[in-house]
Amino acid sequence: MTTVTGTQAGPLPATQAPAGTGRRVLRGLAHDKGAVASVTILILFILMAAGAPLLTKVTGWGPDTLNPNAINPNLGGEPLGHLGGISLAHPFGVEPDSGRDILARIAYGARVSFLIAFSATILTTTLGVVFGMLAGFFHGWVDQVISRLMDFLMAFPALIFMIAILSALPSGNRPLLLVIVLSVFGWPYLGRVIRGQALSLTERDFVAAARVSGGKTRHLVFREILPNLLSTVVVMASLSVPGFVGAEAGLSFLGVGVTPPTSSWGQMISSSLQWYSTDPLYFAIPGAFLFLTVLTLTVFGDRLRHALDAGEAA
């Protein structure tokens, strides 16, 4: 999953970001139909995730409340009624066998999905920026060590290795473990780009001017170089979020990600494997949520990059 973010984000122009850029970019996004549509859907999903406890209180069905009245024990636990047991009480139907409410499980699954994806993005971005800047700014042996480490991590068969680690680790706080493992293998893709840009920025005249006029290292790094990398960081970070959503779902699908009783979309699809021919909605609903989330996040990241490019060119 992480390769996708790595290869998509080619060399971005190291341009300066003046103060008015932020507003111009926002205005550009507001006029962009694709961006507006995807942000609207994302906000709805995030509201659903945040309001999950409230939602289950309103409907009366929690994510782990069994409902034996909604399933048919004579048919092996098949949901009663058409379309996977869709009814007023259960708008998305119920889970076969247990009769748990799918809406509640989707909402709680969204929480896990967003929590892991956003935390992994924050951690990856922090690691990538810090190590990329260190390597690009200090050259020499610091650069050598960090660059070799990045090469090494990127040569890893990350998915298989994550599976190996996650299956070996004892069950503890699974979401936290996932965030750490995803980030450890994710940061070199941003780190490498940041290193390259920092390397060329340190040679530029305005940095040299700041240096000779007595600027301290901290000033050079935070005031002169970092602001110029901001748009790269924002674009790469936002484009990595859908990758993490997909990775979490994939790992949970394989049984090494989020484990029961915590509900997650990947896990729901995995347990729908034995039911898909008789109750197709049981995989179609979490599948559609997963697809829409990844799609809207990708569109948003893409449009953001366009808006930033346009904002800087203006």
Interacting residues with another protein (CB under 8 A): 3-4, 7-8, 10, 152, 155-161, 163-165, 167-170, 242, 246, 249-250, 253-256, 266, 269-270, 272-273, 276-277, 280, 283-284, 287, 290-291, 294-295, 298-299
Least distance (Å) between residue 246 CB and another protein? 5
Residue whose CB is less far from another protein, 5 or 228: 5
Picking from 287, 282, 36, 238, the residue whose alpha carbon sits closest to that of residue 122 is 238
Least distance (Å) between residue 155 CB and another protein? 5
Q: What single-letter DSSP state applies at residue 13? A: P
Residue whose CB is less far from another protein, 231 or 272: 272
Q: Which amino acid is at 173?
A: N
The angle subtended at Cα 241 by Cα 261 and Cα 153, nearest 5°, is 95
Least distance (Å) between residue 225 CB and another protein? 28
Residue whose CB is less far from another protein, 46 or 66: 46
Residue whose CB is less far from another protein, 86 or 89: 86
User: What tokens does 73 get?
Assistant: 């024990």
Residue whose CB is less far from another protein, 34 or 81: 34
176-191 burial code (b ≥16 CB/10 A, e <16): ebbbebbbbbbbbbbb
Q: What single-letter DSSP state applies at residue 101? A: B
The answer to whether residues 251 and 178 touch, using CB atoms and an 8 Å cutoff, is yes
Least distance (Å) between residue 179 CB and another protein? 17
Least distance (Å) between residue 107 CB and another protein? 19
Residues 6+ apart with CB under 8 A from 11: 193, 196
